[in-house]
């Protein structure tokens, strides 16, 4: 059962959660949605609100839903990496990731998240742009872009945080 808390009540270190636990970024509605594993992102204060920033490569199917929808969700599953084995290696264009990862979608708060999550962060998009090669001051991160498939990033205002009790 999910309980709402404020973003400032999140007890875990979100840097650690994103980098080591990983997250699912999800967006869409009952007529179509997708999710993907992510291990890059930010959380903090921006423009007077609690906010997150997520990064999605252009070839990811989830990008279509992030572009189209006003809201998206981040969900965390603890040490259970089985979900990420599916959602981080398969495309929703080709397979039913929800079924393969044994996830139960919840359609609420203008987006989709999953009943199995221990923590869910619902966000309203505020800003989107593409990472641009010419904007790198330090060129060393370009090693992540051999194919020049620079991420699109989204800044989302945190609208709701849910913990599964």
Q: What is the per-residue pLDDT across 108-148, written as a single tens digit (0 to 9) for each? A: 999 999 999 999 999 999 999 999 999 999 999 999 999 99
Q: How does DSSP assign 39-60, residue by residue?
A: --EEEEEETTEEEEEEEE-TT-
Domains of the chain: 2-164 (2.30.110.10)
Q: What is the pTM of this model?
A: 0.96
Q: What pLDDT score was predicted for residue 129?
A: 98
| 16-54 pLDDT tens trace | 999 999 999 999 999 999 999 999 999 999 999 999 999
Percent of the residues in the chain that have a pLDDT greater than 70, as a whole number: 100
Mean pLDDT over each residue of the chain, to the nearest integer: 95
Q: What pLDDT score was predicted for residue 39?
A: 95
Q: Is the pLDDT of residue 90 over 90?
A: no
Q: What pLDDT score was predicted for residue 61?
A: 96
Hey, what are 82's tokens?
A: 């089985």
Question: Residue 79: which pLDDT band, with cuts at 50, 70 and 90?
Answer: confident
Hey, what are 92's tokens?
A: 């929703």
Of 117, 124, 109, which is closest to residue 54 (Cα–Cα)? 124
Q: What pLDDT score was predicted for residue 137?
A: 98
Task: In whole angstroms, give the CA distance from residue 128 to residue 55.
Answer: 10
Task: In whole angstroms, give the CA distance from residue 129 to residue 104.
Answer: 31
Task: In whole angstroms, give the CA distance from residue 16 to residue 18.
Answer: 6
Q: What pLDDT score was predicted for residue 80?
A: 84
| 45-61 pLDDT tens trace | 999 999 999 999 999 99
């Amino acid at each position: 059962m999910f309980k709402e808390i404020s973003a400032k009540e999140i007890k875990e270190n979100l840097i650690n959660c994103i980098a080591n636990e990983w997250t699912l970024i999800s967006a869409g509605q009952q007529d179509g949605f997708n999710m993907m594993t992510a291990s890059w992102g930010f959380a903090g204060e921006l423009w007077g609100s609690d906010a997150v920033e997520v990064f999605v490569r252009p070839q990811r199917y989830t990008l279509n839903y992030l572009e189209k929808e006003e809201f998206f969700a981040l969900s965390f599953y603890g040490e259970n990496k089985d979900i990420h084995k599916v959602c981080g290696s398969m495309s929703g264009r080709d397979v039913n990731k929800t079924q393969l990862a044994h996830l139960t979608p919840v359609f609420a708060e203008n987006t989709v998240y999953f009943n199995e999550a221990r923590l869910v962060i619902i966000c309203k998009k505020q800003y989107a742009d593409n990472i641009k090669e010419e904007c790198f001051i330090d060129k060393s991160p370009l090693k992540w872009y051999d194919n020049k498939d620079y991420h699109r990033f989204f800044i989302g205002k945190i609208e709701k945080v849910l913990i599964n009790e």
